[in-house]
A and B are shown apart, each in its own frame.
Chain A
Amino acid sequence: MKMNGARILLECLKREGVDTVFGYPGGTVINLYDELFNFKDIRHILPRHEQAGTHAADGYARATGKVGVAIATSGPGATNTVTGIATAYMDSIPMVIITGQVPTALIGNDAFQEVDIIGITRPCTKHNFLIKDVNDIATIMKKAFYIARSGRPGPVLVDLPKDVQIAQTEFVYPETIEIRGYKPNLTGHPRQVEKAVAMLLAAHRPVVYVGGGVVLGNASDELTTLARMLSLPVTTTLMGLGAFPENDPLSLGMLGMHGAYCANMAMTHSDLIVAVGARFDDRVTGKIATFAPHAKIIHIDVDPTSIKKNVRVDLPIVGDVKDVLAKMIKQADKSRDKAADFAAAIASWHEDIAGWKAKHPIAYKQSSTAIKPQFVIQKLRELSDEDAIIATDVGQHQMWTAQFFQFNRPRTLLSSGGLGTMGYGLPAAMGAQAAFPKRQVITICGDGGVQMNIQELATLVQNRLPVKIVILNNNFLGMVRQWQELFFDKRYSQTCMELPIDFVKLAEAYGAKGFSTAKPGEVEKIIKQGFKHPGPVIMEFKIAREEKVLPMVPAGASLNEMVLNA
Chain B
Amino acid sequence: MQHTISVLVENEFGVLARVSSLFSGRGFNIDSLTVAPTNEEGLSRMTIVTRGDENILEQITKQLNKLIDIIKVIDFTGGVAVEREMALVKVTAEDESRAEVLRIVDIFRAKIIDVTPKSYTIEATGSPQKIDAILELLRPLGLKELVRTGAVAIGRGAKGWKG
| Interfacial residues, chain A to chain B (CB-CB below 8 A) | 118-119, 122-123, 126-127, 130, 147, 179-182, 303-305, 308-309
B14 lies within 8 A of chain A by Cβ: yes
B68 lies within 8 A of chain A by Cβ: yes
Q: Which residues of A lie under 8 Å from residue B10 when comparing CB positions?
A: 180-181
Q: Which residues of A lie under 8 Å from residue B32 when comparing CB positions?
A: none
- Say how far B46's CB is from chain A's closest CB, in angstroms: 13
Q: Which residues of B lie under 8 Å from residue A127 when comparing CB positions?
A: 68
Take A180-B71, A181-B67, A182-B68 as given contacts and tell me if A304 and B18 are in contact as well, using a CB distance cutoff of 8 Å: no
By the criterion CB–CB under 8 Å, are A308 and B68 in contact? no
In the assembly, what is the distance between CA of A304 and CA of B13, in Å? Answer: 26
In the assembly, what is the distance between CA of A130 and CA of B9, in Å? Answer: 18
B55 lies within 8 A of chain A by Cβ: yes
In the assembly, what is the distance between CA of A119 and CA of B71, in Å? Answer: 21
A118-B14, A122-B18, A147-B68 given; name 16 further pairs at CB < 8 Å: A122-B17, A122-B21, A123-B21, A127-B68, A130-B13, A179-B68, A180-B71, A181-B68, A181-B71, A182-B68, A304-B62, A304-B65, A304-B66, A305-B59, A308-B55, A308-B59
Q: Which residues of A lie under 8 Å from residue B68 when comparing CB positions?
A: 126-127, 147, 179, 181-182
- Say how far A68's CB is from chain B's closest CB, in angstroms: 20
Q: Which residues of B lie under 8 Å from residue A130 when comparing CB positions?
A: 13-14
In the assembly, what is the distance between CA of A182 and CA of B10, in Å? Answer: 11
Chain B, range 5-52, C-beta contacts under 8 Å to A: 9-10, 13-14, 17-18, 21, 25
- Say how far A415's CB is from chain B's closest CB, in angstroms: 25
By the criterion CB–CB under 8 Å, are A305 and B63 in contact? yes
Take A147-B68, A181-B71 as given contacts and tell me if A308 and B14 are in contact as well, using a CB distance cutoff of 8 Å: no
By the criterion CB–CB under 8 Å, are A303 and B66 in contact? yes
Q: Which residues of B lie under 8 Å from residue A126 when comparing CB positions?
A: 68
- Say how far B113's CB is from chain A's closest CB, in angstroms: 36
Q: Which residues of A lie under 8 Å from residue B13 when comparing CB positions?
A: 130
- Say how far A157's CB is from chain B's closest CB, in angstroms: 12
Q: Which residues of A lie under 8 Å from residue B63 when comparing CB positions?
A: 305
Q: Which residues of B lie under 8 Å from residue A180 when comparing CB positions?
A: 10, 71
In the assembly, what is the distance between CA of A122 and CA of B25, in Å? Answer: 11
**In chain B, what residue has the closest Cβ to A307?**
B62
B70 lies within 8 A of chain A by Cβ: yes
In the assembly, what is the distance between CA of A303 and CA of B63, in Å? Answer: 10
14 A-B pairs with CB atoms under 8 Å apart are: A122-B17, A123-B25, A126-B68, A130-B13, A180-B71, A181-B67, A182-B68, A305-B59, A305-B62, A305-B63, A305-B66, A308-B55, A308-B58, A308-B59
**In chain B, what residue has the closest Cβ to A118?**
B14
| Interfacial residues, chain B to chain A (CB-CB below 8 A) | 9-10, 13-14, 17-18, 21, 25, 55, 58-59, 62-63, 65-71
Q: Which residues of B lie under 8 Å from residue A118 when comparing CB positions?
A: 14
By the criterion CB–CB under 8 Å, are A119 and B65 in contact? no
In the assembly, what is the distance between CA of A119 and CA of B66, in Å? Answer: 18
**In chain A, what residue has the closest Cβ to B65?**
A304
- Say how far A558's CB is from chain B's closest CB, in angstroms: 22
In the assembly, what is the distance between CA of A132 and CA of B17, in Å? Answer: 18
The 7 closest A-B pairs by CB, nearest first: A305-B62, A181-B71, A127-B68, A182-B68, A304-B62, A181-B70, A123-B25
- Say how far A291's CB is from chain B's closest CB, in angstroms: 16
Take A181-B67, A181-B68 as given contacts and tell me if A119 and B17 are in contact as well, using a CB distance cutoff of 8 Å: yes
Take A123-B25, A130-B13 as given contacts and tell me if A181 and B69 are in contact as well, using a CB distance cutoff of 8 Å: yes
**In chain A, what residue has the closest Cβ to B14?**
A118
In the assembly, what is the distance between CA of A308 and CA of B62, in Å? Answer: 11
**In chain B, what residue has the closest Cβ to A143?**
B68
**In chain B, what residue has the closest Cβ to A123?**
B25
**In chain A, what residue has the closest Cβ to B63?**
A305
Most B C-beta atoms less than 10 A away, residue of A118, A130, A181, A308: A181
In the assembly, what is the distance between CA of A308 and CA of B63, in Å? Answer: 12
In the assembly, what is the distance between CA of A127 and CA of B17, in Å? Answer: 13
- Say how far B20's CB is from chain A's closest CB, in angstroms: 10
**In chain A, what residue has the closest Cβ to B25?**
A123
In the assembly, what is the distance between CA of A182 and CA of B12, in Å? Answer: 15
**In chain A, what residue has the closest Cβ to B70?**
A181
- Say how far B6's CB is from chain A's closest CB, in angstroms: 15
- Say how far A284's CB is from chain B's closest CB, in angstroms: 19
**In chain A, what residue has the closest Cβ to B8?**
A181
In the assembly, what is the distance between CA of A42 and CA of B2, in Å? Answer: 54
**In chain A, what residue has the closest Cβ to B66?**
A305
Q: Which residues of A lie under 8 Å from residue B18 when comparing CB positions?
A: 122
**In chain B, what residue has the closest Cβ to A147?**
B68
Q: Which residues of A lie under 8 Å from residue B70 when comparing CB positions?
A: 181
**In chain A, what residue has the closest Cβ to B62?**
A305
By the criterion CB–CB under 8 Å, are A309 and B59 in contact? yes
In the assembly, what is the distance between CA of A127 and CA of B22, in Å? Answer: 13
- Say how far B13's CB is from chain A's closest CB, in angstroms: 7
**In chain A, what residue has the closest Cβ to B42?**
A180
- Say how far B11's CB is from chain A's closest CB, in angstroms: 12
In the assembly, what is the distance between CA of A424 and CA of B58, in Å? Answer: 35
Q: Which residues of A lie under 8 Å from residue B69 when comparing CB positions?
A: 181
In the assembly, what is the distance between CA of A309 and CA of B68, in Å? Answer: 20
In the assembly, what is the distance between CA of A147 and CA of B69, in Å? Answer: 12
In the assembly, what is the distance between CA of A180 and CA of B9, in Å? Answer: 10
Q: Which residues of A lie under 8 Å from residue B71 when comparing CB positions?
A: 180-181
In the assembly, what is the distance between CA of A126 and CA of B70, in Å? Answer: 13
Q: Which residues of A lie under 8 Å from residue B59 when comparing CB positions?
A: 305, 308-309
Most B C-beta atoms less than 10 A away, residue of A119, A303, A305: A305
- Say how far A86's CB is from chain B's closest CB, in angstroms: 13
**In chain B, what residue has the closest Cβ to A128?**
B14
In the assembly, what is the distance between CA of A118 and CA of B73, in Å? Answer: 24
In the assembly, what is the distance between CA of A529 and CA of B70, in Å? Answer: 56
In the assembly, what is the distance between CA of A303 and CA of B62, in Å? Answer: 9
- Say how far B38's CB is from chain A's closest CB, in angstroms: 14
Q: Which residues of A lie under 8 Å from residue B25 when comparing CB positions?
A: 123
Q: Which residues of B lie under 8 Å from residue A181 when comparing CB positions?
A: 9-10, 67-71
In the assembly, what is the distance between CA of A304 and CA of B65, in Å? Answer: 9
Q: Which residues of B lie under 8 Å from residue A123 when comparing CB positions?
A: 21, 25
In the assembly, what is the distance between CA of A389 and CA of B79, in Å? Answer: 57
Q: Which residues of B lie under 8 Å from residue A305 when comparing CB positions?
A: 59, 62-63, 66
In the assembly, what is the distance between CA of A123 and CA of B70, in Å? Answer: 16
- Say how far B94's CB is from chain A's closest CB, in angstroms: 47
In the assembly, what is the distance between CA of A115 and CA of B63, in Å? Answer: 27
